[in-house]
């Protein structure tokens, strides 16, 4: 079979909504695109532990402490699960981490913003995880089987995160004037970064077209963003939070909320490493990864010794 | 001391050990040597916070002046915490943390085992449930102590250094005061001298397997159960209590 015929057959399978599995033939570009997207997704889960971990020691109640820790653990678990799913494409976790450290692999830009007050933990759960869910529900139908199954599993936990985030915001909006101020401040800072999580507008998205054709992505950035905007504005108003955008307007004809254009220059700057926490996040990951070298070496040496002992005694 | 006060004090001691230990483990969040261990450490912390909450809830129910478990966890001052000195020691490297965890979870496991026969039904109930977790914590940390002891030259040196540093704080776990006297006589808690004997044996076995030497250090530093702490506790509390102290009366 020629490359061209293989490609045609591959596209036919995609068009018929068949799932592609790790051992199936796939175009190199499809494999690369998936590795890029899935490893980026895994790294995002892991880097996302930092801004939330920033409040783990200061959570204000025993219950809040437990919920936040459980949530961070879920994120780390998603990271592990996604690293494994990505490994089915023929790349190992060490290489992916190396690519992250070298800046060749990215993570979600939203984690380059700081968590400055307790309401930020609410805002991350509600807005950041909320945006992630909209994206991930769509990705449950992605054409690559391992990724699709990962998304189905992860979505269940993310919707719990979103609820607990909204609960923090609700409690604070029902609280003291200072608490309300914190909640609104968090809203003001996280609104635009959350909307940018869906990626650049459709007419300016580098990888979108091919990804849609291969059904790696199922819906466009703008469609997903609009879905998130529509459900989130109502939720914000319900607890008395203002949307930090004076131009929002409900269009009765389209039944959609209209919002101001986003500052895509800032988005590009943050993606390119110039956001408030880019250096901090990456340096943190590199530092603690390197500090763990001796532990990983010891564990490996121990396992090898044990194996040798077993062979000699048998 | 009457029994009710003794039970209250004892619950605080148990809760504080869990709370402070959990707080120290939480410091590892996003800093673990490998993602799996990062998650394991926050998982341990999560168990410990759960145990702390159970003991705080019980303590709060015994004292009419205390509104909630959170008040006990977040609004006492340094001298009113009764955790052992070992758990408030800084994390150091992974070897220090695992050694600390090992020495503490060996104690906790034996303590909960004894408390499953307590004459106080609530303490008995909490301990029966917590014992399952403590057994896992002990297994996890002892496996690491052995792995590091027998891993590489570097890991052996680090984990030996860890026990050399921490050993001096271990007798504090077995110090007794009037609270223990009352609870031993009523069959509610165990004699810590007996626990100490068992602890020495269990810990000794694992250290031997890990090829580690037991330090020959004087062990006179005590005071946790009487609210006398090292300099570290104040800083832990400053961070942990920040929101509760800065916004009194707020609901979170």
Q: Is B20's Cβ below 8 Å from some Cβ in A?
A: no
The phi, psi pair for A148, rounded to 5°, reads: -60, -45
Position A7 pLDDT exceeds 80: yes
Q: pLDDT at residue B13 above 80?
A: yes
Give the pLDDT of residue B192: 97
CA distance B33 to chain A (A): 4
The pLDDT of B97-124, averaged and rounded, is: 98
For residue A207, is pLDDT > 80? no
Mean pLDDT of B199-226: 93
Distance CA A301, CA A238 (A): 57
Q: What angle do CA B6, B8, B11 make, to 5 degrees?
A: 105
Cβ–Cβ below 8 Å for B52 and A62: yes
Measured between alpha carbons, how far is residue A289 from residues A285, A292, A298, B140 in Å?
6, 5, 15, 21
pLDDT confidence of A201, banded at 50, 70, 90? very high
Q: In whole numbers, what is the pLDDT of chain B averaged over residues?
A: 96
DSSP string, A133-159: HHHHHHHTT-SBHHHHHHHHHHHHHHH
**Distances from the Cα of B222 to the Cαs of A83, B81, B82, B179, B228, in angstroms?**
47, 14, 11, 16, 8
Q: What is the mean pLDDT of residues A249-263?
A: 96
| CA–CA separation, B172 and B227 (whole Å) | 12
**Is B93 near chain A, with CB under 8 Å?**
yes
Chain A partners within 8 Å of B251 (Cβ)? 171, 174-175
**pLDDT at residue A313 tops 90:** no
Contact A292 B251 (CB under 8 A): no
pLDDT tens-digit map of A78-119? 999 999 999 999 999 999 999 999 999 999 999 999 999 999
The nearest CA of chain B is from the CA of A292 a distance in Å of 4
Interface with chain B: mutation pick from A62, A107, A307, highest number of B CBs within 10 Å: A62
pLDDT tens-digit profile of B179-192? Answer: 999 999 999 999 99
Is A176 in contact with B250 (Cβ distance < 8 A)?
yes
Q: What is the reported pTM?
A: 0.95
**A contacts of B38 (beta carbons < 8 Å):** 49, 76
Over residues A228-242, the pLDDT tens digits come to 999 999 999 999 999
Give yes or no for residue B157 having a pLDDT over 90. yes
Residue contacts between A and B (CB atoms, under 8 Å)? 131
DSSP A251: E
Distances (CA, A) of A288 to A59, A284, B12: 23, 6, 34
* Domains contained in chain B, CATH given: 3-246 (1.20.1260.10)
pLDDT band at A314 (very low <50, low <70, confident <90, very high): low
Q: pLDDT at residue B207 above 70?
A: yes
Q: Average pLDDT for residues B31-47, to the nearest whole number? A: 97
Average pLDDT over residues A15-35: 95
Question: In the structure, what pLDDT confidence band is assigned to residue B216 with cuts at 50, 70 and 90?
Answer: confident
Average pLDDT value over all residues in chain A: 94
Q: What is the pLDDT of residue A204?
A: 82
């Amino acid at each position: 079979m020629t490359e061209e015929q293989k490609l045609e057959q591959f596209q036919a399978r995609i068009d018929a909504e068949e799932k592609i599995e790790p051992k199936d033939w796939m175009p190199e570009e499809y494999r690369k695109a998936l590795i890029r997207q899935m490893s980026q997704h895994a790294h995002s889960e892991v880097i996302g532990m930092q801004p939330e971990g920033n409040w783990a020691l200061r959570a204000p109640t025993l219950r809040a402490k437990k919920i936040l820790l459980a949530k961070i653990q879920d994120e780390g678990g998603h990271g592990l699960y996604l690293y494994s799913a990505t490994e089915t494409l023929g790349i190992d976790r060490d290489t992916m981490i190396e690519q992250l450290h070298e800046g060749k692999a990215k993570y979600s830009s939203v984690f380059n913003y700081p968590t400055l007050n307790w309401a930020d933990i609410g805002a991350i759960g509600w807005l950041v995880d909320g945006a992630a869910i909209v994206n991930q529900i769509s990705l449950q139908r992605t054409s690559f089987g391992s990724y699709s199954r990962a998304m189905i599993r992860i979505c269940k936990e993310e919707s719990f995160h979103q609820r607990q985030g909204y609960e923090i915001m609700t409690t604070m909006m029902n609280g003291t004037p200072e608490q309300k101020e914190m909640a609104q401040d968090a809203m003001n800072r996280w609104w635009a970064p959350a909307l940018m999580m869906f990626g650049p507008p459709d007419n300016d998205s580098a990888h979108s077209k091919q990804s849609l054709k291969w059904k790696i992505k199922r819906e466009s950035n703008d469609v997903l963003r609009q879905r998130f905007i529509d459900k989130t504005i109502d939720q914000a108003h319900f607890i008395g939070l203002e949307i930090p955008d004076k131009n929002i307007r409900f269009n009765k004809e389209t039944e959609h909320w209209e919002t101001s254009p986003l500052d895509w220059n800032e988005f590009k700057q943050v993606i390119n490493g110039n956001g408030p926490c880019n250096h901090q996040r990456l340096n943190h990951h590199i530092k603690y990864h390197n500090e763990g070298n001796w532990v990983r070496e010891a564990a490996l040496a121990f396992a090898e010794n044990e194996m040798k002992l077993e062979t000699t005694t048998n | 001391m009457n029994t009710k006060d003794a039970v209250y004090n004892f619950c605080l001691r148990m809760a504080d050990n869990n709370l402070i230990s959990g707080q120290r483990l939480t410091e590892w969040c996003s800093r673990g040597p490998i993602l799996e261990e990062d998650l394991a450490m926050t998982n341990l912390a999560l168990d410990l916070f759960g145990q702390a909450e159970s003991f705080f809830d019980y303590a709060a129910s015994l004292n009419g002046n205390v509104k909630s478990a959170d008040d006990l966890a977040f609004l006492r001052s340094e001298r009113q915490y009764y955790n052992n000195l070992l758990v408030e020691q800084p994390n150091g490297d992974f070897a220090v943390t695992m050694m600390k965890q090992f020495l503490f979870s060996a104690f906790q496991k034996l303590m909960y085992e004894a408390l499953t026969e307590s004459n106080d039904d609530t303490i008995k109930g909490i301990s029966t449930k917590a014992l399952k977790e403590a057994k896992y914590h002990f297994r996890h940390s002892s496996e690491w102590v052995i792995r590091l002891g027998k891993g590489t030259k570097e890991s052996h040196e680090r984990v030996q250094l860890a026990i050399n540093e921490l050993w001096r704080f271990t007798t504090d776990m077995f110090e007794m005061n009037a609270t223990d006297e009352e609870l031993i006589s009523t069959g509610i808690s165990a004699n810590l001298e007996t626990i100490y004997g068992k602890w020495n044996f269990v810990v000794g076995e694992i250290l031997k397997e890990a090829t580690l030497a037991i330090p020959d250090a004087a062990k006179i530093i005590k005071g946790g159960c009487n609210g006398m702490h090292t300099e570290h506790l104040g800083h832990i509390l400053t961070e942990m209590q920040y929101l509760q102290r800065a916004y009194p009366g707020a609901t979170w």
